[in-house]
Amino acid sequence: MRAVLLVTLAAGLGLAQPADPGKPATTNVMGAEYPKIHADLSVTFRTKAPDAKKVQVDLGKPWDMERDGEGVWSVTIPPQVPGFHYYYLSIDGVRVSDPASRNFYGVSRESSGIEIPEAGADYSEIKDVPHGQVRNYRYYSKTVAGWRRAFVYTPPDYDTNLKARYPVLYLQHGGGEDETGWPNQGRVDIILDNLIAEKKAVPMIVVMDKGYALKPGEEIPQPPAAGQPRRPFFSRTFEEVVIDDLIPAVDGGFRTLTDRDHRAMTGLSMGGMQTFQITMAHLDKFAWIGGFSGSGGIMGGPFDAKTAYDGVLADAAAFNKRVKLVWIGIGTKEPERMYASVHSFHEALTQAGIRHVYYESPGTSHEWLTWRRDLNEFAPLLFR
Amino acid sequence: MRAVLLVTLAAGLGLAQPADPGKPATTNVMGAEYPKIHADLSVTFRTKAPDAKKVQVDLGKPWDMERDGEGVWSVTIPPQVPGFHYYYLSIDGVRVSDPASRNFYGVSRESSGIEIPEAGADYSEIKDVPHGQVRNYRYYSKTVAGWRRAFVYTPPDYDTNLKARYPVLYLQHGGGEDETGWPNQGRVDIILDNLIAEKKAVPMIVVMDKGYALKPGEEIPQPPAAGQPRRPFFSRTFEEVVIDDLIPAVDGGFRTLTDRDHRAMTGLSMGGMQTFQITMAHLDKFAWIGGFSGSGGIMGGPFDAKTAYDGVLADAAAFNKRVKLVWIGIGTKEPERMYASVHSFHEALTQAGIRHVYYESPGTSHEWLTWRRDLNEFAPLLFR
């Protein structure tokens, strides 16, 4: 009876009902039946809210949910792009997490997330291969006068190959996320485990810190208001933390190779911008540089390779000799402004004669599937 | 003006207003001003919900929030017991997480949490001492035919004292929680780091797995209906996982001491019950046993030391010689049934002549402050 009612409602809304019952998303909390993903990647959401007047699910855009006689609201939304998407419910206009979903720190808050499976892509699926570990690593930062926590991936043989020293990749999250992003949404250890098992990437340590840092008394920097001069909306304090506190702490606490030829940095979105800011100012410390949907020259505006980053790009031949890799990635379905800024930076580098790799993730937006693919493409090129 | 209004409203509700502005809770998401904790440990909650008809905050019990002219709802609730409390908002009758709070997996879902500071208690505060690591450890379970993840705390000297082998404590979360409970809500690494630094506890490895396990095709066991025979509402599959998969994986993957004299197990609530179920059936593997607000004989009903656990307690002298420690803890403010069941188990053990330590956490309920204190009391007694 309820099924009939739902079909009727859906027909009224012009939404097609999938033929199959669907499977609970892997991102649901233990025991939660909904959200369910159907074979065609359409998704049914359901939540109980007998006293609410209006309930929506927002996944990229808001979808009205329909109430049944018992106060259960549901909607089936059209097939979704594979990968990890943040989403939320709106209960009488209040944006809240779906109680049925695991939460992921993103968009500056805990957010519901749903993993839409990608057919045929197993690079980010757990396999029967040796597994590394993600460790919480507490270190003292003189810059912020307090303890900070980074996550550190150690490769599978780290605890057995005790004479080995490893190169290090510093890997940053995006704006509104934190150091939990890559271990949770990004599946960093699974991607690296798989690459290392297939000998596509060399065993490496990956360090993931929170890309925010404030000195005592320092205020959180605000994004520029409309019409104001563009500037990075993150504090430079994080740069000091990386250079003065984090790198020494990692080199002191792990069996790392400490020269610049064995140190890389990349990040997504804001983390990519931070990477270019930090590495270009410290080429004595980094020889491998990446930017996932965020790099140099982002946010539009003229980019002049002769003067940018205090002129380190001005002599292309010298830069190309000094820097082993510059790598830039973007999803083809990212918002136009994002795509344009990364693509135009790629073109500016090309014009300036700066050797680099440019990668487009087909069909993906400013989302974690783009960045997982980026990591899967970027990591194999490192430390060769 | 708004302050005056709030005071007026609060006066109308009979709630006293604290004199100080309060400080954002440490459990808030980055940048969130509310909830704020005042000097007297009263707490002000605030959330924006212009279109909602009724908003409450539920922390132990529901408190009505009051709407201002701009649709912002607030309430200041009376002084709270220190420690970590789960809480949630109710928006027009729908129970949701507070967008201003970090989420913690508990009560079978992501839940808001608030840390009320405990004056003078610094055993669970991060200090300038050497820090261990909490590592995500993936291992294959033949029992469930899949990969599982446990968190493993390694003590501060684990990566430098490479010849050392360590005793192991298996430490379980409660019902509706998971393996993230002890690292997040429980502050396990900070408590152990502090104990080890003060030489109050010996360096040990702590293993925290998810206390749920299902074989292929096995259904989630349901709690018994009212009037039905009492039985553990968790599957015995977890026992098989611990014995057949987890212990071998930990002994294979870490530098452990593998004899029973160097293996302990404890857990909170459901995890305590699981501990007694597992250890009593495998005394060849465990010599140290704990139960935090959950142990043997819980859920009321007669407990007969002669027949319980297949009679391993029947010969008290033999048991006391074989088992190095039985440790039972409970908070004095726990719900009457919880308190009574643990206390009566303590009395039954005493009557049966089973040597054990019984600890009461003053003023705390069935909550994480009880269990942090338990760990802080229990860990120093281990492996001596």
Is the pLDDT assigned to residue A221 strictly greater than 90? no
Average pLDDT of chain B is 91
For residues B216-243, give the mean pLDDT.
71
DSSP single-letter state for residue A256: B
A232-241, A370-379, B110-119, range with the lowest pLDDT: A232-241
| pLDDT at residue A278 greater than cutoff 90 | yes
**Contact predicate B34/B112, CB 8 Å:** no
Q: Assign B229 a pLDDT band (cuts: 50, 70, 90).
A: very low
* Chain B nearest C-alpha distance from A101 (Å): 8
- H/E stretch holding B147 reads strand B146-154
* Inter-residue contact B175 to B362 (CB < 8 Å): no
* Residue A216 token pair: 């005592």
Angle between helices B368-378 and B188-197 (to 10 degrees): 30
Instruction: Output the pLDDT for position B235.
Output: 74
Token readout for B247 is 């212990």
Our measurement of the distance from residue A179's CA atom to the centroid of its chain's CA atoms, rounded to an integer in Å, reads 10
Q: pLDDT of B123-177, one tens digit each?
A: 999 999 999 999 999 999 999 999 999 999 999 999 999 999 999 999 999 999 9
Q: Are B289 and B328 in contact (CB under 8 A)?
A: no
Please provide residue B308's backbone torsions phi and psi, each rounded to the nearest 5 degrees: -60, 150
Closest to B31 (Cβ–Cβ): which among A96, A183, A220? Answer: A220
Rounded-to-integer distance, Cα B85 and Cα A351, Å: 58
Tell me phi and psi for residue A104, to 5 degrees. -135, 135
Q: Per-residue pLDDT averaged across A283-296, rounded? A: 95
**In chain B, which segments carry CATH 2.60.40.10?**
23-116
Q: What is the pLDDT of residues A77-117, one digit of tens each?
A: 999 999 999 999 999 999 999 999 999 999 888 999 999 99
CATH superfamily of A23-116: Immunoglobulins (2.60.40.10)
Query: What average pLDDT does range A318-334 have in this prediction?
Result: 97
Give me A148's structure tokens.
């900070």
A243, A328, A330, A382 from A277: Cα distances, Å: 12, 14, 18, 20
Any idea which of A191-195, A204-208, B179-183, B212-216 has the lowest mean pLDDT? B212-216
Average pLDDT of the segment spanning B359-365: 96
Instruction: Please give, one letter per residue, the 3-state secondary structure of A41-60.
Output: CCEEEEEECCCCCCEEEEEC
Closest CA to B313 of B368, B265, B275, B276: B276
In the CATH hierarchy, which fold is given to the domain comprising A122-381? Rossmann fold (3.40.50)
Terminal-residue alpha carbon distance, chain A: 63
How much is the mean pLDDT over chain A? 91
Contact A114, A121 (CB under 8 A): no
Contact: A103, B97; criterion CB under 8 Å: yes
Distance, CA of B307 to CA of A314 (rounded, Å):
83
3-state DSSP assignment of residue A288: strand
> Comparing B236 with A76, which gets the higher pLDDT?
A76
3-class secondary-structure state, position A67: strand
Which of A34, A136, A220 is the best mutation test for B, with the most CBs of B within 10 A? A136
pLDDT surpassing 60 at residue A226: no
* Interchain pair B93, A49: CB under 8 A: yes
Contact B108 A29 (CB under 8 A): yes
φ/ψ of residue A111, rounded to 5:
-135, 145
Question: What is the percentage of chain A residues whose pLDDT exceeds 70?
Answer: 90
Query: Which of B9-18, B285-294, B316-325 is predicted with the least confidence, judged by mean pLDDT?
Result: B9-18
Measure the CA–CA gap between A373 and B9, rounded to whole angstroms.
54
**pLDDT surpassing 60 at residue B337:** yes
Work out the minimum CA distance from A171 to partner chain B, whole angstroms: 18
Helix (H) or strand (E) holding A170: strand A168-172
Q: What is the pLDDT of residues B40-72, one digit of tens each?
A: 999 999 999 999 999 999 999 999 999 999 999
**Range A30-35 average pLDDT:** 92
- Which part of chain A is CATH 3.40.50.1820? 122-381
CA atoms of B347 and B325, how far apart (whole Å): 16
Q: What is the C-alpha to C-alpha distance for residues A193 and A132, in angstroms, rounded to an integer?
A: 6
Residue with tokens 């396999």, as numbered in its chain? A127
Helices (H) and strands (E) in chain A, counts: 9, 19
- A142 interfacial to chain B (CB closer than 8 Å): no
Contact A36, A43 (CB under 8 A): yes
Contact between residue B284 and residue B290 where contact means Cβ atoms under 8 Å apart: no
Residues A269 and A185: their CA atoms lie apart, in Å, by 15
- Of the candidate ranges A176-180, A301-305, A358-362, the one whose mean pLDDT is the lowest: A301-305
Q: Examine the pLDDT at A277 and tell me if it is beyond 50.
A: yes
- In angstroms, the CA A325 to CA A288 distance is 5
CB atoms within 10 A of CB B26: 11
pLDDT tens per residue across span A108-118: 889 999 999 99
Output the pLDDT for position B164. 97
- Which of A266, A130, A98, A285 is closest to A198 using CA atoms? A130
Residues in chain B within 8 Å Cβ distance of A100: 109
Distance CA A346, CA A355 (A): 10
pLDDT at A305: 86
pLDDT number for residue B2: 42
Mean pLDDT of A367-381: 98
Q: Does B49 touch chain A (CB under 8 A)?
A: yes
| Percent with pLDDT over 90 in chain B | 83
Q: Rounded to 5 degrees, what are φ and ψ at A263?
A: -135, 125
- Which pLDDT score is estimated for A347? 94
A-B contacts (CB, under 8 Å): 125
Token pair listed for B366: 């069935």
Would you call A49 and B109 a contact, using CB atoms and an 8 Å cutoff? no
pLDDT-based confidence at residue B296 (cuts at 50, 70, 90): confident
pLDDT of residue A57: 98
A376: which DSSP letter? H
More confident residue, A307 or B383: B383
Name residue B63's amino acid.
W
pLDDT of residue B219: 78
Rounded to whole angstroms, the maximal C-alpha distance in chain B is 73
Terminal CA-to-CA distance of chain B, rounded, Å?
62
Alpha-carbon distance of A366 to B73, in angstroms, equals 34
- Report residue B212 as tokens: 């749920």
Residue B334: how many CB atoms within 10 A of its CB? 22
More confident residue, A4 or B373: B373
Closest Cα in chain A, distance from residue B92 (Å): 6
How confident is the model at residue A281, as a pLDDT? 95
Q: What is the pLDDT of residue B107?
A: 84
- For the four alpha carbons of A154, A155, A159 and A163, in that order, the dihedral sign comes to negative
Whether B138 and chain A come into contact, CB under 8 Å, resolves to yes
- C-alpha distances (whole Å) from B263 to each of B191, B277, B367 are 19, 16, 26
The residues that bridge with A75 in the sheet, in sequence order, are A45
pLDDT confidence of residue A302: 72
Distance CA A106, CA B63 (A): 29
Neighbours of B320 (CB within 10 A): 15
The angle, 0 to 180 degrees and rounded to 10, between the axes of the packed helices A368-378 and A188-197 is 30
Per-residue model confidence as pLDDT tens digits over A1-16: 344 444 444 444 545 5
B159 touches chain A (CB under 8 A): yes
Q: Does residue B230 register a pLDDT over 90? A: no
DSSP class of A344: H
pLDDT-based confidence at residue A30 (cuts at 50, 70, 90)? confident
